[in-house]
Structure 1
Amino acid sequence: MEDSMLRSLAEPEGYRLEALDGDIGHCHDFLFDDELWTLRYMVADTGGWLSGRKVLISPAQLEAPDWERQRMPVTLTKTQIEQSPPLDVDAPVSRRYEQLYNEFHSLPSYWLGSGLWGDFPIPTSLTTMQEARIEPATATSGATIEDADLEEGDDVHLRSVREVTGYRVVAPSTVDSGIDKVGRVVDLIVNDSSWALRAFIIDTSRLPFSKKVLLPVDAIAEIDWVSRQVVADVSAERIEEAPPFDPSEAVNERLETVLYDVYGRPRPAF
């Protein structure tokens, strides 16, 4: 397995996407699993090529980004992307839609198994045991998102990174036993191999001071999508006393060690 690094999700936003036979648009957003804290899809904006249609691309279909050229290689053809099940941007991505997507792209189901990616260690290993499909699938190529509409009990668990960016962050106070606002979400940190989310970057700025800190995902009690806030299960004082995060500094293992030492959390195994 290649060495993994921690990356800011704001960094690849807008990167050009290179399919096997040409450019297909740019990186627009990411969808993450708010239960297992893992990125599941990149949302591609196809621009004028597909009349601005947005499509999902699994990390199993992405190669390592070219950070200098600001490009992301995609191991699909333009035909595969064009005939992929269309995404309704106004509807949540359901498990039935994911099943339709996986069937079209011949991908195993990541939710079957005990790991972040089922029985596979990293998303790119989802395709290593089979030939990459070059010709588009025919069994479901005529299917649409309407065929995968939500049913009762369908699990909606995928959320937009763009949506959560800007949410306020609240935490219990040890001073007055209340709930304090400690800042707002400005970015997320991800492992670029496993696509596991590691931390939220929180802007705790209070004029005239400016400070960003890291909040590990396992220090988050919940995301309240109705009130648009992230609820931490560590004290507001601990978050405010965390060392400042410099966005220009590489997010490396040393910084991750400090992160988990500060919040008293064990470092993850993945």
Structure 2
Amino acid sequence: MLRDLNHLHGRTVVARDGDIGSVQDIYFDDEAWGVRYLVIDTGDWTPEGQVLISPYSVDRAELSADIVRVDLTRQQVKDSPSIDTHKPVSRQHEAEYLRYYGFPLYWGGPNLWGMGQYPVPGFIGAAPIPADVRQQLSLYGDKPPGDVHLRSASHVERYAVEALDGSIGHVRGFIFDDEAWVIRYFVVDTRAWWPGGKEVLLATHWIDDIDWFASSVSTSLTREAIKASPDYDESILIDRAYEARLHDFYRKSGYWTEEKGSGPARSAADR
């Protein structure tokens, strides 16, 4: 199912033995557009006051409720590798985190989630980091560089959206597939540029560049095309018919046809 990523913000996160906090932010990568981590505000019961939660541990069936239920214990969360969300999350930190929980590395494989197409819940056992990955991580030394592809959804919201022929609005949010945990669309608010305007969706594969220094997102679509595109109404469920109409309007192939049989996972609506 396609959902508005903003609907996760502020939700209570419940472990097997009690609450652990609430969703404060989401980290995604700007290459495959995978939703890699939820940033949880734990208050004062964990050392850093924040922890990362991977979609591997999330019970997808509970997302329709007002909570996010995870297959973890409070002690597991408390003992997990610390994180400073004011700094970039390094690949070395990610490897340490994933090894702690026994989750597979998502990078380096042919699919959105490494060797798998979905972040299937359940533990695989604490697996050692492969030798080639360990060797690569050792090159980072004591000051590993941040993962330049891992981004905060909260930071990208409000970024300006630049069409081929000028500004069109700003990023209001994101639409993600709750099965594959991948961002499918940017929600763009055009009303500041166009009085009486509307919100529209831009597929992530129509985004040409994100300029982190200029705080902007660019696309080769024109302003007039975006202005005339189908409206987005957040109160209405996004189904395949709407997606097909949106892609047909721009004369673009749907991701569900490009990914069929290979690549990132299919949407639940595609089955």
Give the Cα separation in 1 of the matches to 2:64 and 2:180.
Answer: 22
Q: Does the Cα contact within 8 Å between 1:59 and 1:123 map onto a contact in 2? A: yes
Structure 2 length-normalised TM: 0.84
Cα gap change, 1:91/1:169 in structure 2, threshold over 3 Å: closer, same or farther? same
Q: Show the counterpart of 1:210.
A: 197
Q: Does the Cα contact within 8 Å between 2:13 and 2:19 map onto a contact in 1? A: yes
> What's the offset of the Cα at 1:234?
1.6
| Residues 1:253 and 2:240 aligned together | yes
Q: Does the Cα contact within 8 Å between 1:65 and 1:72 map onto a contact in 2? A: no
Q: Show the counterpart of 1:21.
A: 17
Give the Cα separation in 1 of the matches to 2:183 and 2:5.
Answer: 10
1:1-80 counterparts in 2 under 5 A?
A: 5-50=1-46, 53-64=49-60, 66-67=62-63, 69-80=65-76
> What's the offset of the Cα at 1:56?
0.6
1:50-129 counterparts in 2 under 5 A?
A: 50=46, 53-64=49-60, 66-67=62-63, 69-124=65-120, 127=122
Unaligned runs of 5+ in 2: 128-139, 260-265, 267-271
Q: Show the counterpart of 1:185.
A: 171
> Which whole-Å deviations, capped at 9, do the CAs of 1:175-221 have from their partners, x for residues lacking one?
xxxxx110000010000000111100000014640300001101101
Give the Cα separation in 2 of the matches to 1:112 and 1:101.
Answer: 17
Q: Secondary structure at the match of 2:248?
A: helix
Cα gap change, 1:181/1:115 in structure 2, threshold over 3 Å: closer, same or farther? same
Give the Cα separation in 2 of the matches to 1:167 and 1:240.
Answer: 18
Give the Cα separation in 2 of the matches to 1:213 and 1:56.
Answer: 31
Q: Show the counterpart of 2:144.
A: 151
Q: Secondary structure at the match of 2:97?
A: helix
| Alignment RMSD (CA, Å) | 2.1
AA at the equivalent of 1:159 = R
Q: Which has the higher helix share?
A: 2
Cα gap change, 1:148/1:70 in structure 2, threshold over 3 Å: closer, same or farther? farther
Q: Does the Cα contact within 8 Å between 1:25 and 1:49 map onto a contact in 2? A: no
AA at the equivalent of 1:61 = S
> What's the offset of the Cα at 1:226?
0.3
> What's the offset of the Cα at 1:108?
1.1
Q: Does the Cα contact within 8 Å between 2:24 and 2:38 map onto a contact in 1? A: yes
Q: Secondary structure at the match of 1:159?
A: strand
Q: Show the counterpart of 2:159.
A: 167
Q: Show the counterpart of 1:144.
A: none
Q: Secondary structure at the match of 2:162?
A: strand
> Which whole-Å deviations, capped at 9, do the CAs of 1:141-175 have from their partners, x for residues lacking one?
xxxxxx985436x64210000000001100112xx
Cα gap change, 1:68/1:117 in structure 2, threshold over 3 Å: closer, same or farther? closer
Give the Cα separation in 2 of the matches to 1:99 and 1:247.
Answer: 36
AA at the equivalent of 1:220 = I
Give the Cα separation in 2 of the matches to 1:109 and 1:91.
Answer: 21
Structure 1 length-normalised TM: 0.84
Over the matched positions of the two proteins, sequence identity in percent amounts to 37
Give the Cα separation in 2 of the matches to 1:231 and 1:121.
Answer: 28
> What's the offset of the Cα at 1:67?
4.9
AA at the equivalent of 2:226 = I
Q: Show the counterpart of 2:130.
A: none
